[in-house]
Amino acid sequence: LTMLESNVSQKDVSKFAGVSPSTIGRLLDSDQALLRFNSRTLPTNIAIDEFRGPQGKYCFIIVDNDTSQIHQILPDRLKSNIMHYFDRFSLKERKRVKSVSTDLNSYYQDLVRRYFPNAKLVVDRFHIVSMLTRAFNQVRVAVMKQFDPNTREYRALKNSWRLYLLKSTSLNYTKEYYDRHLRQKVTMAERVGIGLDLDPQLAAGYELLQGAMTALEEH
């Protein structure tokens, strides 16, 4: 269990321990082995999330954000079981928690507000960027479908779509390449500009996405 808490695969652990991978799986499936109820202390800054565990079952994980070490793993992500775990800590101990980092899962946020009255709720930046890129792609596809599939405008928005999701500072503004979809030489920046010029809403969404990525990068 100690090795599994570090960045080591189950396969490597099984080789080191001299047991089969299935034995490791059975150990992880054992609630008593997996649950290391620490009923005394909590890290000052924690992160909570879920991950796909043995046999595709989702588990709940608590990480110490200061050390990046696993604090606890629960065998499922049921709200009642998560509440049961946090109920083991005194209010005084839970008030010591200064921040909780999580995703956009609403009931995780409800749990943070309920159990950690002094903690700052932090939404993981990965999920913010992921949400914005999905929204931008939805706008791009909607604009693209306004054009005939055989047109240059349609190809400009359909192909090389990954360029739109890069930081603008990562685009090359000088080196040209031949774009077979547009049948012309362009730089990466020009290629993005051709698509953005087709719709003002798409261009506005691009500026919003770029601004958010820059703000997160520069804290």
Please report the pLDDT score of residue 175 as a whole number: 95
Q: Does residue 72 sit in the same domain as residue 135?
A: no
Number of domains in the chain: 2
9-13, 91-95, 107-111: segment of lowest average pLDDT: 9-13
> Are 129 and 212 contacting, i.e. CB atoms less than 8 angstroms apart?
yes
- Count how many Cα atoms sit within 13 Å of the Cα of residue 150 in the half-sphere of its side chain: 0
Q: Does residue 106 sit in the same domain as residue 135?
A: no
Please report the pLDDT score of residue 158 as a whole number: 95
On average, the pLDDT of the chain sits at 89
- Cα distances (angstroms) measured from residue 146 to each of 97, 163, 190, 199, 215: 51, 21, 22, 11, 32
Q: Does residue 48 sit in the same domain as residue 112?
A: yes
Please check whether residue 28 lies inside any domain of the structure.
no
In this prediction, residue 43 has a pLDDT band, given cuts at 50, 70 and 90, of very high
Please report the pLDDT score of residue 30 as a whole number: 61
- From CA 127, how far away is CA 123, in angstroms rounded? 7
In this prediction, residue 36 has a pLDDT band, given cuts at 50, 70 and 90, of low
- From CA 97, how far away is CA 118, in angstroms rounded? 7
> Are 125 and 78 contacting, i.e. CB atoms less than 8 angstroms apart?
no
How is residue 186 written in tokens? 């362009």
Q: Does residue 145 sit in the same domain as residue 206?
A: yes
The torsion angles phi and psi of 86, rounded to 5 degrees, stand at -70, -25
- Cα distances (angstroms) measured from residue 184 to each of 162, 179, 181, 191: 19, 6, 8, 10
Please check whether residue 160 lies inside any domain of the structure.
yes
Per residue in 172-205, pLDDT (tens digit) is: 999 999 999 999 999 999 999 999 999 999 999 9
Please check whether residue 12 lies inside any domain of the structure.
no
Q: Does residue 114 sit in the same domain as residue 139?
A: no
Please check whether residue 107 lies inside any domain of the structure.
yes
Give me the domain span that covers residue 142. Answer: 126-217
Mean pLDDT of 93-98: 96
Among 118, 147, 171, the domain boundary falls at 118
In this prediction, residue 21 has a pLDDT band, given cuts at 50, 70 and 90, of confident
Q: What pTM value is reported for the model?
A: 0.61
Neighbours of 157 (CB within 10 A): 23
Please report the pLDDT score of residue 83 as a whole number: 93
Mean pLDDT of 63-89: 90
Mean pLDDT of 5-17: 79
- From CA 72, how far away is CA 41, in angstroms rounded? 11
